[in-house]
Amino acid sequence: MASRNVVNNMKGLVQFISDLRNSRDSGYEEKRINAELANIRSKFKDSSLNGYQKKKYVCKLLYIYTLGYPIDFGHFEAVQLLGSQKYSEKQIGYLFISLILNEKDDLTNLVINSIKKDLQSHLEVYNCLALHCVANIGSAEMAAALSEVVQQLLNSHVTKPYVRKKAALALLRLYNKDSAIFKPEMTHRICTILQDEDLGVVTAGCSLIATMAESNSAAFAEAYNPAVKILYDLIVNGDCPQEYIYYNLPSPWLSVKLLQLLQILPAPDDPALNNKLSETLRYVFSNYTIMCSNVQQSNAQNAVVFEAVNLVIHMNSDPSLLHKCYQTLGNSLTAPLINFQYVSLEAMAYLAASVENTYEIRKHMPTILNSLHNRDVSIRRKALDLIYLLCDKSTVSPVVTELFKLLSTADLSLKEELSVKIAVLAEKSATEAKWYISTMMRLVYLANEQAPEEVWVRVVQIVTNNENIQVPAAQDALSYLQHSVCPSTLAKLCACILGEFGHLISSDPNTSAAVQLDAMESHITSCPSTVKAIFLSAYLKFCSVFPDLKPRILPIFQRYSTAANAELQQRAYEYLMLASNPDTTLLDTVCEELPLYDERESALFNRVGHSDDTISRSKMIERRNSYMPVSNGKASNPFRTNGVDTVGSSMNSAAPSSRHSVTRTETSIPAGSSTNADALYDLLISSTNDGVLYEDNTLKISVRSKFMPPHGALILTFLNKTAGALSNFKSTIDPYSSTHLKTIISRDTGGTIYGNDTAQQTITTEAADIFWDSPKVSITYSAGTPRTHNIRLPIVLTKFMVPLPILAKDFGYRWGQLREVNLERRSTIKYGTGVIGLEIEYVNDIVKGFGWGICNREEHAETTEWLCSGVLKLCLRQDALILELQYWLHDI
């Protein structure tokens, strides 16, 4: 079309716009607009307004709206314009509706009738206006009222191509609003759109199929074949009408759409078809990667190339094509154009999450690390995402160093994300406890308040749960507090650690309790009150461990008991009373050591999970979840791994009482305190299937269990130890959060257990997938007074292990295989200080009790070594596991 001088023939509008443009300040603009709004409002009251005038005023409203002012009238006039017989008036009416009408607006119902009329009109220009409107603001109500008419337009043979493609997209919008409009019998019809002669119709059809297939890919499987064909004809044969050639390329958008569609549809098992697709992709890699000087052509080429890369990664089947991907991405990464670097980093992240072996990507590590310092934040972010995916034990140290460099210069928006990622990497890939703790301290120091709460809280959890890092943690905490500057978050962390573990380093005169106190005192006055509160708690703990320091500490409590902050005041006053009481029983109870944290929950990992969601494709997350234990909420802590962890905790807590009691579980136990119940429980999960689960003066519960992974059955026997009856006896399985373990009571007790009588109950269980928490049974009964017990059932993951010894000579090889894919975990468990070592046979029993098959056992002077293997059998998965356990008789 020849260019023309476009004249706006609404004079009043032009004048109005000119006026506004000439306004010197926003005050004038606002005044002018308010005057105009008042004017239009009064005009609209005049019922004799003709179509042209209405159009003009509605158009003015639209202009005001574009400037960002709210428009709360004119809707009615716009709806009237919709019904006009003049195209230009109708057009403005539609423009107003689609810009200003919110889909939640009540008026939508009013306009639906007009739209329907226009959809059914014999004038195509009217059809188009209505279709634009449906496609742009279609709502669930419109889906119900209009989807049939839209489909008629789409399917009718008399519909012109330019109406058809709009109908396809309008249907897409309606489907997005209400997927119920989709009926299975529609699929074939929709797939035939791909055979249309008009490439525009094919492009729109592609979008429609891709959207519908997203949630229903199998139904659209038949579209795969034509999609490959069109792609081949387009790209390899160059079969494309002249008007669809865009800068020498046959319709690049259609190519991209088809490549996207092929990632959604299930690939059929058809070698000829696959060859055709491979040939097309190869053609793209060799012909579309040629550099060209025209920006448009270069962009269009690369749109196709990178979509081809996505498809190859998605298929992940042809090594030679994957190789081409590596090549392409490598070249783009070092390309001078920054857009290429961005897209290349993004594609590499997708690749890193999809392939097992990331060696080819790691080759570019120096460039990627360099990108971390690019001055464009977009690039930095992409590089960070990629590095996070690539990092493992071997690279964690240099990577974290590099990330620290970035942290000190990063802008606020990136700091939070960065600090979470450093924290997770340090925890996930740490090889040395000391390195971990110093890294985290430094992180908290540098990020301070930009690091979310979860970061420092997580450090406290890990230190509490791991004896071997408590001493270095306390040392580091002290030395940070000795600096004159200590950011508030770090101060919180340090105070927390010193309060809890400061006594571990107090024997050294350089780090004595008094020195620690000095260090804390130098900061307490200057920090915010939330931090002061933690300092006060640390002081209180010092009062309990070092009573000599009370004369120094009590005045501090005294001082803060008159603090302005109410919370602080109350805390200080309570502490003062506690600490000055000559009887220290209460104080000591309050200051007892922190109990171990539940290992399986780290809020930090959840956070990473969320940020993953936002940075990556849904497919990528699926892949990532499948082999990176990070985002599914399970902590893969380097200090204790889950398999060994259970052994460890049982050694720690159960062993003192059970060293001699393996064979005498039935001995009577005094009134069941909770620790005692824990010991009994630990025994049941580690060594035996039968034993006492709970006992007090009234009731004794013993259990017999049998596991045939992935199923298990438990018989609970309740013994009433009293002479009176236990009435209303009821037990229920606590509504259990994990969907991975199904536990039901299959046979219940009668309701009353008479004096000295027993009752039995059968519980069956089935493990679908990895689970971490044992189910609990809640028992209530009445023995004069109502009572409730919540008892953990001895159902743990290791109960679903089956011993499967492998040959000792194969052991090393298998281990190496798993290590390669980063599935190795190491941890050290201390058995506690001052306790004589366990008997080797006892350890042996525990290992067997956890379902390991022992492949080899070697005894040396100082150590004993077990090589074990087993299979975890669950309904949904079976995992082979191997374990190497070294046991030192003496402290090392």
Q: Which among 386-394, 507-515, 575-583, 610-618 is the span making contact with other proteins, rule CB under 8 A?
A: 610-618
Nearer to other proteins, 17 or 471 (CB): 17
Residue 172 interacting with other proteins (CB under 8 A): yes
- Within 456-515, which residues bind other proteins (CB under 8 A)? none
- Partnered with residue 741 across adjacent β-strands are 767
Query: Among 119, 131, 651, 703, which residue sits at the site for other proteins (rule: CB under 8 A)?
Result: 131
- Within 307-336, which residues bind other proteins (CB under 8 A)? 307
Query: Among 19, 155, 225, 244, which residue sits at the site for other proteins (rule: CB under 8 A)?
Result: 244
Nearer to other proteins, 22 or 758 (CB): 22
Nearest distance in Å: CB 253, other proteins: 5
Phi and psi angles of residue 717, each rounded to the nearest 5 degrees, phi first: -115, 125
Nearest distance in Å: CB 299, other proteins: 5
- Within 822-861, which residues bind other proteins (CB under 8 A)? none
- Within 342-361, which residues bind other proteins (CB under 8 A)? 342-343
Residue 615 interacting with other proteins (CB under 8 A): yes
Distance CA 281, CA 807 (A): 46
Q: Which among 134-142, 389-397, 681-689, 869-877 is the span making contact with other proteins, rule CB under 8 A?
A: 134-142
Distance CA 67, CA 69 (A): 6
With the C-alpha atoms ordered 631, 633, 637, 642, is the resulting torsion angle positive or negative?
A: negative
Nearer to other proteins, 14 or 38 (CB): 14
Q: Is 326 annotated as a binding residue?
A: no
- Within 647-686, which residues bind other proteins (CB under 8 A)? none
Q: Is 485 annotated as a binding residue?
A: no
Distance CA 559, CA 524 (A): 12
CB 503 within 8 A of CB 513: yes
- Within 174-233, which residues bind other proteins (CB under 8 A)? 199-200, 203-204, 207, 211
Residue 86 interacting with other proteins (CB under 8 A): yes
Residue 104 interacting with other proteins (CB under 8 A): yes
Q: Which among 33-41, 91-99, 472-480, 679-687 is the span making contact with other proteins, rule CB under 8 A?
A: 91-99
Query: Among 17, 112, 471, 554, which residue sits at the site for other proteins (rule: CB under 8 A)?
Result: 17
CA distances (Å), 747 to each of 166, 715, 767, in order?
Answer: 63, 9, 19
Strand runs labelled E in 784-837: 785-792, 801-803
Distance CA 440, CA 420 (A): 11
Q: Which among 466-474, 609-617, 788-796, 797-805 is the span making contact with other proteins, rule CB under 8 A?
A: 609-617
With the C-alpha atoms ordered 841, 847, 852, 857, is the resulting torsion angle positive or negative?
A: negative
Nearest distance in Å: CB 151, other proteins: 15
- Pairing of β 758-767 and β 801-803: unpaired
Residue 103 interacting with other proteins (CB under 8 A): yes
The encoded tokens of residue 457 equal: 């809280």
Residue 87 interacting with other proteins (CB under 8 A): yes
Side-chain-facing half-sphere of 376: CA atoms under 13 Å: 10
SS3 of 866-888: EEEEEEEECCCCEEEEEEEEEEE
Whether the link from the prior residue into 710 is cis, omega within 30° of 0, is yes
Distance CA 77, CA 87 (A): 16
Nearest distance in Å: CB 300, other proteins: 5
Length of the chain: 892
- Within 31-70, which residues bind other proteins (CB under 8 A)? 52, 59, 62-63, 66-68, 70
Q: Is 543 annotated as a binding residue?
A: no
CA distances (Å), 340 to each of 337, 699, 851, 868, in order?
Answer: 6, 72, 53, 50
594 — alpha (psi -120 to 50), left (phi > 0) or beta?
beta
Q: Which among 88-96, 482-490, 671-679, 692-700 is the span making contact with other proteins, rule CB under 8 A?
A: 88-96
Residue 91 interacting with other proteins (CB under 8 A): yes
Residue 116 interacting with other proteins (CB under 8 A): no
Query: Among 253, 435, 754, 772, which residue sits at the site for other proteins (rule: CB under 8 A)?
Result: 253
Query: Among 190, 213, 227, 300, which residue sits at the site for other proteins (rule: CB under 8 A)?
Result: 300
- Partnered with residue 704 across adjacent β-strands are 690, 715
Distance CA 146, CA 160 (A): 19
Q: Is 445 annotated as a binding residue?
A: no
Residue 254 interacting with other proteins (CB under 8 A): yes
Query: Among 38, 377, 821, 876, which residue sits at the site for other proteins (rule: CB under 8 A)?
Result: 377
Helix ranges (DSSP H) in 710-796 = none
Query: Among 33, 40, 92, 568, which residue sits at the site for other proteins (rule: CB under 8 A)?
Result: 92
Q: Which single residue is written with the structure tokens 């219940």?
A: 748
DSSP 562: T
Nearest distance in Å: CB 59, other proteins: 6
Residue 21 interacting with other proteins (CB under 8 A): yes
Size of the site for other proteins (CB under 8 A): 83
Distance CA 497, CA 542 (A): 12
Query: Among 80, 225, 339, 727, which residue sits at the site for other proteins (rule: CB under 8 A)?
Result: 339
Q: Is 868 annotated as a binding residue?
A: no
Q: Is 295 annotated as a binding residue?
A: no
The set of long-range contacts for 367-370, using a CB threshold of 8 Å and a minimum separation of 24, is 367/333, 367/334, 368/333, 369/399, 369/402
Q: Is 56 annotated as a binding residue?
A: yes
Nearest distance in Å: CB 26, other proteins: 11
Phi and psi angles of residue 564, each rounded to the nearest 5 degrees, phi first: -70, -35
Residue ranges of the binding site: 43, 52, 56-60
